[in-house]
Structure 1
Amino acid sequence: MAVASAAPGSDFCKQLLFSLLVLILFCDACQKISLQVPSHLPAEALVGKVNLKECLQSASLIQSSDPDFRIQEDGSIYTTHDLMLSSEKKSFSILLSDTQREEQKKIAIVLEAGGQKGPERHLEDTVLKRSKRRWAPIPCSLMENSLGPFPQHVQQVQSDAAQNYTIFYSISGPGVDKEPFNLFFINKDTGDIFCTRSIDREQYEQFPLYAYATTADGYAPEYPLPLLFKVEDDNDNAPYFENKVTIFSVPENCRTGTSVGKVTAIDHDEPDTLHTRLKYKILQQIPDHPKHFSIHPDTGVITTTTPLLDREKCDTYKLIMEVRDMGGQPFGLFNTGTITISLEDENDNSPYFTETSYFTEVEENRIDVEILRMAVRDQDLPNTPHSKAIYKILQGNENGNFKISTDPNTNEGVLCVVKPLNYELNRQIVLQIGVLNEAQFSKAANAQTPTMCTTTVTVKIKDLDEGPECQPSVKVIQSKDGLPAGKELLGYKAVDPEKGSSEGLRYKKIGDEDNWFEINEHTGNLKTVKVLDRESKFVKNNQYNVSVIAMDADGRSCTGTLVVFLEDDNDHPPDIREKEVTICRHDKDFAVLEPVDLDGPDNGPPFQFFLDNAASKLWTIETKDGKTAILRERQNLDYDTYTVPIQVKDRHGFAARHILAVRVCDCTTPSDCKMTPKGVRDIKPSNVILGRWAILAMVLGSALLLCILFTCFCVTAKKTVKKCFPEDVAQQNLIVSNTEGPGEEVMEANMRLPTQTCNICDTSVSVGTLGGQGVKTQQSFEMVKGGYTLDSSKGGGHQTLESVKGLGQGGMDTGRYGYTEWHSFTQPRLGEVYLCGQDEEHKHSEDYVRSYNYEGKGSVAGSVGCCSDRQEEEGLEFLDHLEPKFRMLAKTCVKK
C-alpha cells in the first residue's frame, strides 16, 4: 500500500498520515512499490531495486511470488527469462522471512508498462515544461593513481521526472555495495557521484554501476541507468623479465646466426599502448670479448654473431639484458635481467698421450698379465663419449700376443699379454698404439679435422728356463700293417728351447691302450712288442695313438701324442661269419651270402665265389654286386641239411675256404623251420676207389632196374583195374579224415587251384568214410613213399605217382620222392581233387560203399567204407609223420 505525501496546510491529511503509519507498524504488509518498465523485458534484466531492510531488518529468506522474477539479497529484481507484459500493470510480491523470530513480511511490487505514470498528484497549480531528457548513459573515465582532492566529483545523473516529482537518486554495483566497498557514493538529492580515493587500474580496469531514480513513495519513474566508469591507464608499472635467471645452451662451433633462445618480459600496464611497447637490449656480455651474441629488440630472440664459440676456452657466457617500455624511449620504465648461455661440448679435440714413447718388459711364457698403463689427455668434456678413450694396437701384434683395453675409471690404456711370448724366437717387440674417442670427431669452423694420436711401446722379453717344448703337440708316423714284434719305429721328439735340441731329455710312455710298444728313454723311439694289426679294435681310422711325456733334468715336462698310421696289408681273407643258412622254399629258393673282409677297401671287394666240383653238381653260386653272392639249388633237393664248401677270394686273390651248413626247409621264414634232420649230408668227394667188379655190378644192376621199370610201365598201361592202396603198410596211405570244424584257411602259395572244371570225378564215384564220419566230398588217395593215387570211375582212370614216373603197378619204389616230382604230379590235379565227389549239378554224392578191384595186401587199415567204425584198428599214426604238402592237400579236399 503506497503512502501519499500530504498537502501542506491540511490538518486532516496529517492526522490521516499518522493513522496509516500506525497501521503499518502493526501489519504484515510493507510499503507497496511501483516500478515503470518497458513492455518487453529480456532475460536477466534489472527491473528495479527495493530496500528490503526497511521492511524486515533480519530477513533470512527472500522469495518471489512470481517465478518470472528473482530477488537478490540487496533487493535487486531481475527477470528469469524473456517477458512480454500483456497488460499495462503486473503485480507480484516479495516474501521476506525471519526463521529465528518466526516473522514474515510481504512487499507488493507493481510493474507499469509503457511509461504509465504514478499516482494522481494535485497539479492544478503546476505547469509541466518538457526539456531535453537527461536520464541516459554518460561516458565517464577515471584516472588511475589520481592525487585528489577527495572526494573527487566524477559525474552527475539527473532524471527529467525531477521537474514533477521529488526524486531521490541511488547507485549500486562494484565500488558501492560490492568490492571495493565505498569507493563511490551519490548525493541522493542532486545525483552527483563522487570517488573517495585513488584507483589502481591494474586492479580494477572499470566499474559497471547502476543508477536509480525513485520518488519518496517508492515509485521509479525511470529505468535503472547503467553507468560504466573506465579507469585510464597510467604508466606506473615497469616491465620485468619473466624469469629472474634464464639459462640457454648452444653447441660450440655453431654457425653464425644460430638461435640461442628467446627472452620474454611482462608489463602490467594496459596492453597495446606505449605503456607496454617493450624493447630489448644487451647491456653487457661477460666475458665481453669477443662479442658473440645479439638480440632482436622487438622479439627478444638471441642469436650468435660469430662461429668461434669454443667451449674449451670459455664454456659459459652471461648477458646483462634490459627491457624498457614506451617503445624504448629514455623516459620509459625499464628493468634488467641476467641471461646465462652454456656451450655444449663437441668432440673437436682428439686425445693425446702424455708421453711420446713407452718402455716395458715381461717374462716369456706369462699370460694374462698387465705390463703397462698409458695415460691420455683430452680437452673435451670429461666422462663423456667425447673424452672417453679407445685404444688400438696398430702394429707389432701380428701374432696376437697382446691386448689393450680402457680403464673406465681412469681412462688409461691397459696393455696385457694374452698369449705366451718366446724369448728364443723374439727378444723384443715394438708396438704402435693409437687412441681415439668413443664419439666421432666433429670439425670446427676454419679448423682441420682431428687426427689419431699414436705412440710406440717397446716390450723387452725376459728369458726364462721353461723346460722342454713338445712342438707340435701331435706327430704322425707311418707303419705297415702286420709289422712283427721287435721292430723299431721313429718316436716323438721334444726340444729344450734353451739348448735348441733334445739333448738331456728323458721320455716316458703314458698312454698305450693295447701295449703295442716300448719306448726308448733317451731317444724316444718306439719298439714293437706285438704284431701291429690295423683291424684291432684299438685302431680308429687306421690310427693308433701313443702318449709320450718328455722331461728335463729339473723335472719340467711336456706331453705329446704320437699317432701311428697303419698302412693296410692284405692279411685277412674274406670271411663268411654265418656258417649256417636256411633256404625256405615258400619264401625264396636261394640264400644270400655276405662275406666280410677286415682289410681296407683296397684289399677287399669285389669278391669271387667258387664251389667244389662235387658241390657244383647240386648248387650254383653267382656274385650279385661284388660284395654278396646268391647260392641256389641246381635241382629240388630233399628237405635236409647239406654241407657246402665255398671258396671266397678278394680282389687280390687272397682266398679262404668255408664249410657252410645249408638247410633246405619247407618254411616261409627261417624261424619257422622245425625240421630235425637225421644227419647232415656230406657231399664231399669220397676217397673210396671202386674196383672193376664193383663197376660191372653197378652197370648190370642199372640195366636190370631199367628192365623192371619198363615192365612195370607196360603192365600198368594194360591194367584197367583201379588201385586204391598199394601192397604196403597202412602207415603209407593218405586217408581223408572228416573234421567237425571247417579248419583253417589254406594260404599256401604253392597250392594253386585251376579255374577250369574237370570231369575226372562224378556222382558215381563212391569212397569210404574214414573213422565213421561222413563228409561232403570224399576222395580216395593212395600214397607210396610220398605219392598218391586218385580214383575216378569216369574217364580219368586210376593214376598214381608211380604211374606218372613210369613205375606201374607191378613195381614199388622204396625211395623217397622229390619235391619236384610231387609238385609236377599234384599241381595239374588239384582242381580235379577240388571238384571230385560232385555231380553235374554240383551236389555232393551220397556216401556209400564202393568195391575196389584192388585194396592192397595185408592192409592194417581195414575197410574204408562208410560203415567202418573201428577207429582203434585204422592205424592212422602215419598221418603225424606226413610232410606239410600232404596235410594241406588233405585240408583242401575236405574243405568246400
Structure 2
Amino acid sequence: MAPAAPRLVLGLLVLSLCCEACKKVIFHVPSELEADKLVGRVDLKECLQSADLISSSDGNFKVLEDGSVYTTSALSLSAEKKTFTIILKDIQEQVEKKIHVDLVEEEKKTPNTRHARDTVLKRTKRRWGPIPSVMIENSLGPFPLQIQQVQSDTAQNYTIYYSASGPGIDQDPKGLFYIERETGNIFATRAVDREQYPSFQIICFATTPDGYSPEVPLVHTIRIEDDNDNAPYFTQDLFEFCVPENSRPGVVVGKVIAEDRDEPYTLHTTLKYRIVSQTPPITPAFSLHGDTGVISVLLPQLDRELVPSYTLLVEVRDMAGQPFGLCTTGTVVVKIEDTNDNAPTFKQLQYETRVEENRVNVEVLRISVVDLDEPGSPGSGAVYEIIRGNDDQAFEITTDKNTNEGILCVTKGLDYEAAKQRILVIGVNNEAPYLLAPHSQQLSQSTCSVTVHVLDVDEGPVFKPCLLRLDVKECEDIGTAIGRYVAQDPETGNSEGIRYRIPPGQCNWVNIDDKSGEIRTVRVLDRDIGEMRRGQCNITVLAIDRNGKTGTGTIQVCIVPGNKNFPRLTQTDYIMCRDRNPISLTAQDGDEAPYSAPFEYRINDRRLASMWKLTPHDDNSWYLSPKGDIPYGIYEIPVSVIDNGGKIGENIVRVNLCDCVTPTECDGRTRQLAGGNVTLGLWAILAMILGSLLLLLILITICGCCGAGVMNRQVTDDCANHNLIISNTEAPGEEVMDHNIIPLQSTCDQGGYGVKTGEQQTFEMVKGRGHTLESVKGGGHQTLGSVKEGGGQTMMDTCRYSYSEWHNFTHPRLGEKVHLCRQDEEQKHSEDYLLSYNYEGKGSLAGSVGCCSDQHEEEALDFLDQLEPKFRTLAETCIKR
C-alpha cells in the first residue's frame, strides 16, 4: 500500500476568492499552523489601488505589501479564531477598505496507490517553498548564522537528505552558504556586502537515500538587506559655474550632483544638499535647493568689479538629511562674468600737440582712458571717435589693441597758411554696448579736447586743383591746346618763377609748356590704343620753384568719343530663292554713341532703287526686298549706311536672285539682269560655233545631194524610215515652243530637225517597219555623212542611210551625252536613260523629254541675249512670230 498522504504543514494559497473584491477571502489550510508560515496571498490592488497602510485585525497574522499573509506564531484552528480582517488605508485620499479572510481546515485524504500518493504530494506541497530568506549585510554573526530552513512534507514517509548548489555554495563566492543534510537548515559562514552581492539564488534538492527525488528542485532566493554603509559622494571633485554680473535673484547658476551606492529608493539613498560656507564670507550670494542640488542667484547685485568669483563649500547627506545620516562635502566655484556696466573715462580732459604742415600719415598724439570692466573684454575695449573739428577729414584716431590707447594721426597735409591750429573734440565708447547696472544712473559719454598746433615749413608749389580733368575730342589734330595747368607758391599765392615738366615713363599724349603750363597734344588721341584705360590717361606734372621745391599734380586726359569709323555691313553676299523673302542687312560701327546706331540705309543707283527697296527693322538692321516680279539673276546693289553722326559707309550688296527652293539648290552661275552688260559664257560661245558648223555641213550636204538633180527624186519609205523626218518648213513648227531653238536644215528633202539647247544638241531619228524611235545626244562636230564616208561608201548620190550606219554614228554620242544628263548639279544621277519609241510616221508634237531635252525658259538660256551680231540673225530665225 502506498503510504498515507503526509500531513500538510504549510500550504500555498489556493483558495477561493469572493466574486466581489473587498468582501471575503477563503483560505484552505492545515489544522496546525507554524509560525512565519505562508497562509495565502490576497490581491490588494484589486481592492484599493493606492494603499499607504496595510494591517491585520488579528495579531497572529501579518500582511506584506504584495498581499502575502503569514502567521506570526504557531496556532491551531480548533482552538483559535478562523476569521480576521485585512485593513487598507489611503491617507491622502482618506479612504479605508477591508478584506475579510476565512480560514478553512483542509480535508484529509488517504491515497490507495503510489500514483495517487505522488499526485497528492505534488498538489499539497507547503513547506518545500518558503518565502525568500533575508540576510543583513555586514552582519556581525555569530557565524555560522542560520538564515532559513527548507523541509519537505515527504519527510513523514521517507528519509530525506537535503543538498543545495549555486552562487555562494559551489559557485563564487564559494563557501558563503551551506545546508544541513538532515535538517535542511541553511547557514551563512561570513558577512556579505550588498553592494557586491545584492542577492543569491540557490537550488535546493530533497532526495531519499536510494536517490529518489520526491520533490521538484527548489529555487530559493537569499536577499541581502541593505545597511547604510556607504556615504554619498559628489560626481565631480570641483564644480565650476559662471553667471553674468547684475543677474537677478532666481537665475540658475548650475547644479551639483551626488550619488550613493546603497540600495536605491530607500532612506539610505535619499540625499539632501546644503551650503556649508561661502568665500568671501559676505552676504550670501547664492542658494542651494536641498533636494535637486540646483544653485541659484540670491544676492540682487553681483558686481564683478567687487567680487570676481565665489567659492562655496556644499554638503550632501543621506537618510534625508537626518543628523545620523552619512555625509560628504564638495567645492563649487562660481565666476562672475563681466558686463559693460562701467563706462570708459579719459585720464585727461585736455591735450596739446604739434605737427608740421603737409605731413601725412604721422602719429601726433596718444590718449589713455580708464575702464573698470575686465581688461581685454569687449566691455573694456575702447572705441575712439572725433566728434568735432575734423570736417575736412584731415585727422584719424584708432585704438592700440595692446594698450587700449587712442592713436591720433594726420591723414591729410595741414596748411599753415589756412589754419595755424586745429581744435578737436574726441569721445570714447566701448566695443560692447553699455548695460546700466541696477539702481544706477545713466552716464554721459566721456570726452576730451585736443589742440593741434600747425608748424610752418618752406613748402613747394601747390597745384590747384590737385587733379585736373581735361576732356579732348578723339582724333583731335596734333598741337591742339587742350588746357592750362599751373601751380602756386602757398606762401605768396602767385605762380611767378615756377616751371613745369612731365616726368618720363608716362603716356606721351600731351606736353606742357615749362613756363605757362599750357597743355597741347603731341599725338592723335585714340580711345582704342592699349595705353588708354577706358578712354582716359593720368599724367603726373611737376612744378618746381626757384628754391628747387617741387609740387606735384595730376592731369586726367579723358578722350571724348568721336565719329572716326565708317559703318560697314557685316555681310554683303546673299542668295534669294523664288520665295523672295526679305534679306536682313546688318551694319556695325566701331564708334560709341552717339556716333553709331541708329543707322540709315539707302540705295544709290536709281535703276536698282526702282527694282529693290529697303525697309527699317531696328537700329542696326534694315530689310532688303525686290519690288515686284523682277527677273532672276545676280544684282550688285550699292547700299549706303549712314550712322547717327552722319558718316556714310559705302557697301556693295551682291544678291543672287535664283530660281530655287533653298539656297543650296542654286548652282551659283553668274547672271546679269535688269540693265547689265550682256556677256557670253564659255558654253554659249561653244554652242554658237557648233551651230555654225552644223549649218555649214547642211549647206554642203544640200549641194552634194541635190545638185545632180536628185532634188526631184521622191522619198521612198525606206528613206523615211531610216533617215531624218521630212519637214518642209522654213520656220519653226508649231511644236517648237522655245523661242531659242535653232532649226537644222536637212541634207535633202527628207529630214527633220535638231534641237540645240546650250551646248546640247538632240537628234530625232526613226526606224520604220517595226523599229523603235531613239532619242540621242551627239556632238556637233561630226555628221552622219562623214561617218558613212569613213566607211568607204558614197552617201551624196543615194541620200539613204541604213539603220546600222545611223546607229553606229549616233549610239556612242548618245551614250556619252545621256551619261552626262544623268548627273545633276550635286553629281547625282538623274532618272533619264535611253528610251525607245515606236515610229508614228512623223515627229512628236511634244518634242523631246527628260534632262537631255530643251530646257525651260529662264534656265541657262541667258547667253542667247549675249549673241554677237553675226549670230543674232540666226537666233532670230528661230523665234516664233
TM-score (norm 1): 0.47
In our comparison, the structure showing a higher alpha carbon Rg is 1
